[in-house]
Structure 1
Amino acid sequence: MADAKNTPRARGARRFQAPSRRNAIILAVVLVLVGGPLLNGLLSGYERTGGGEIAIVRNGGFFDNNRIRQVLDPGSSRTWIGLYSKVHKYPAQQRFYTITSKASQQEREGVDVVTVPSSDGVNMGIEGTLYFTLNLDHQTLKSFDDKFGTRKFRGVDGDSYFAWEGDKGWSAFLNQIVRPVIDNDLRSQINSFRCAELVSSCALVQNTAAADPLKPPAGGGQAQSNNANIAKVQHAINTSLAADLESTLGGKFVTNLHFNLVRVTLPEKVQDAVDRAQAAFAQVSEAQARVATAKAEAAANKARQDGYNKCPTCARIEELRALPQGITVYAPGNPNGALLPRR
């Protein structure tokens, strides 16, 4: 009996099955290579924004351009944005940029204080916070994304980020583009004030000493109010910063600007000199108080003696009152004139 596996019919069936298996493998590979990206594109073709962000959508298909497709307003519902489109999300709420020596609160690493000279040449450290909001007008935001959303900025960690890449990207953008404008405005405004007009203790160590070296500077060495001058600095910065940022950035991309000047500090050596001067003036004040007390006591004694000279009887009465209680004999002029009773 002939082997059933070697019959013409069996050999034909095997030849038919071999191509079918190869075709199935090829089809599976094609589905993985083509269907996977297509499915991923379909799933990622929908996007939405949170309440604190606004998004610019750019085309990104294989055969598409990279132009802006649409804008998603804050808190949008799930929206079709097309296959392989790119989404650039920006903050839609009020943001702030902090300049402070406190490492846990600042935007940069290390000591982050703007050091600028006053009109009389004293370097002062400026700390403050800039509050602002990104302009959410669609056309303005599209222009902003064209200018700053298509390039990277170097962060404090040395890496480069897009402005829309989370907090690190946004901080990198602020540090490279906005911070130089803030520094320049602070330098311009602070340079129009003398050190003592912003930090009153500066008067203690400047070359304006009184003629009497034991006297403190004018005002008795007391700190004079400089709140009005600080308010002037803040107002001037708020006015100039808006115009300077618009000119530098090439558009009104940020709105509701407000700079809050938090602190003005002196260089370490100058502050040490101020501390020493304040300590010296405190010692002078203490010595003056002792002198005043001695003068008052001398004047009281003189007045008392004048009274005794005019009224000898009054002096004798005061003398008797000053005697200890319980004496038995009192003989003025005798060394043993006052005798106490025996016990």
Structure 2
Amino acid sequence: MAGLRAPRRRTAIIVAVVLVLVVWPALSALLGGYERTSGGEIAVVRNGGFFDNNRIRQVIDPGSGRTWVGLYSKVHKYPAQQRFYTITSDARKGDESGVDVVTVPSSDGVNMGIEGTLYFTLNQDHGSLRAFDDKYGTRKFRSADGKTYSPFDGDKGWSAFLDQIVRPVIDNDLRSQINSFRCAELVSSCALVQNTSAPAAPAAPSRPQAPRQGGQPQSNNANIAKVQESINTSLAADLEQTLGGKFVTNIHFNLVRVTLPEKVQDAVDRAQAAFAQVSEAQAKVATAKAEAAANKARQDGYNKCPTCARIEELKALPQGITVYAPGNPNGSLLPRR
């Protein structure tokens, strides 16, 4: 009996080893050969078998059911819904860590902080998506934390791609557009501290400033709207040229805020405070002049009507006074006994 048990034990061990080394990996690979996408993502599938190439096998559209992608294939999932890239001084809301503001000079040399948000959508055309994955899905990009990610590595990977590839294009377009305007044309308070006797620097020849009707400067809101419109047009062309294809669509930049350097803003605040003090002093002068005019008119009326003056004096007496002696040197009012 002991002699029969030993072969059975060896057989069981061999079967277990075969299951662990062959059957289980094969079963895992078979079950892992299916993939699906949620409603907010689109996937590019690349071959990845032991004896296969690494070419793109297929594209899975958003919200798909379970789809056979082959054994050991690699799936690169990208965002399919509208995305945005925020540039702001609020460290809690920006796409880059900490305070993140694009600082660009105006045509008259004032460094201005630009805050805004770029809205866009990844092109879901299968041909464009395949080309995008060939150019950028096979690379890694360094993020703010110093680590490298692929664009399909979740939010961190997508943000790293935007920071290194898309952000420089945004900065360049903002610089070109803002340089076409003087500081006061975008921030009206800038006129309080600028030397108006100094000639303004000419606008950049490649981005000529739009003519103003009647020679009058346009409002800040109109100029900011022009900046947004120009950026929306130039960004689409510049991103296509920089990325090497029309990989992003529905591009819209919303310019949220234009700020001045800290020292310039401090000067503006002091100038506004000084104007407020001047306005307060002018108001006091106007009040004093009005009171003096009223008193003069009142006195002229009393001179013409002495009786009216006596009546006004009697009306002003406190209640309870029974004797009125205006000629009394000790007082003109005697209280009731």
Aligned to 1:290: 284
* Counterpart contact for 2:35–2:69, Cα < 8 Å: yes
Q: 1:40 to 1:304 in 2, by over 3 A?
A: same
**Aligned residues with identical type, % of pairs:** 82
In 1: Cα distance, 2:46 partner to 2:10 partner: 41
Structure 1 stretch displaced more, 265-274 or 160-169: 265-274
Q: Which SS does the other structure have where 1:149 is aligned?
A: coil
* Counterpart contact for 1:204–1:277, Cα < 8 Å: yes
Aligned to 1:268: 262
In 1: Cα distance, 2:88 partner to 2:222 partner: 22
1:247 and 2:241 aligned: yes
1:205 and 2:193 aligned: yes
In 1: Cα distance, 2:52 partner to 2:63 partner: 27
In 1: Cα distance, 2:222 partner to 2:260 partner: 19
Structure 1 stretch displaced more, 43-52 or 271-280: 271-280
Aligned to 1:84: 72
* TM-score calculated relative to the size of structure 2: 0.85
Matches within 5 A, 1:170-249: 170-208=158-196, 226-249=220-243
Aligned to 2:210: none
1:299 and 2:266 aligned: no
1:104 and 2:112 aligned: no
For the pair shown, the structure with the greater C-alpha radius of gyration is: 1
1:151 and 2:146 aligned: no
Structure 1 stretch displaced more, 136-145 or 305-314: 305-314
Q: Which SS does the other structure have where 2:245 is aligned?
A: coil
Matches within 5 A, 1:123-134: 123-134=111-122
In 1: Cα distance, 2:170 partner to 2:323 partner: 90
Aligned to 2:105: 117
* Counterpart contact for 1:151–1:162, Cα < 8 Å: yes
Q: 1:341 to 1:153 in 2, by over 3 A?
A: closer
Q: 1:330 aligns with which of 300, 325, 337?
A: 325
* Counterpart contact for 2:45–2:57, Cα < 8 Å: yes
In 1: Cα distance, 2:313 partner to 2:65 partner: 101
* Counterpart contact for 1:329–1:337, Cα < 8 Å: no
In 2: Cα distance, 1:106 partner to 1:59 partner: 37
Q: Which SS does the other structure have where 2:185 is aligned?
A: helix
Q: Which SS does the other structure have where 1:97 is aligned?
A: strand
1:69-106 deviation per Cα after TM superposition (whole angstroms, max 9, x unaligned): 11100111111111111100001111111111222211
1:47 and 2:35 aligned: yes
Root-mean-square deviation (CA, aligned residues, Å) is: 2.6
Which runs of 5 or more structure 1 residues have no equivalent in the other structure?
210-223
1:175-213 deviation per Cα after TM superposition (whole angstroms, max 9, x unaligned): 00000001111111111112222222212222249xxxx
Q: Which SS does the other structure have where 1:55 is aligned?
A: strand
In 1: Cα distance, 2:72 partner to 2:294 partner: 97
* Counterpart contact for 2:302–2:309, Cα < 8 Å: yes
> How much does 1:302 deviate?
1.8
Count of residues in Structure 1 that have an aligned counterpart in Structure 2: 316
In 1: Cα distance, 2:298 partner to 2:195 partner: 47
1:190-240 deviation per Cα after TM superposition (whole angstroms, max 9, x unaligned): 11112222222212222249xxxxxxxxxxxxxx95222211111111111
* Counterpart contact for 2:322–2:336, Cα < 8 Å: no
Q: Which SS does the other structure have where 1:96 is aligned?
A: strand
In 1: Cα distance, 2:164 partner to 2:101 partner: 16
1:166 and 2:154 aligned: yes
Aligned to 1:221: none
Matches within 5 A, 1:12-27: none
Q: 1:143 to 1:337 in 2, by over 3 A?
A: closer
In 1: Cα distance, 2:336 partner to 2:81 partner: 95
In 2: Cα distance, 1:337 partner to 1:104 partner: 74
In 2: Cα distance, 1:337 partner to 1:112 partner: 76
In 1: Cα distance, 2:21 partner to 2:333 partner: 126
Aligned to 1:63: 51
Q: 1:153 to 1:309 in 2, by over 3 A?
A: same
Q: 1:237 to 1:341 in 2, by over 3 A?
A: closer
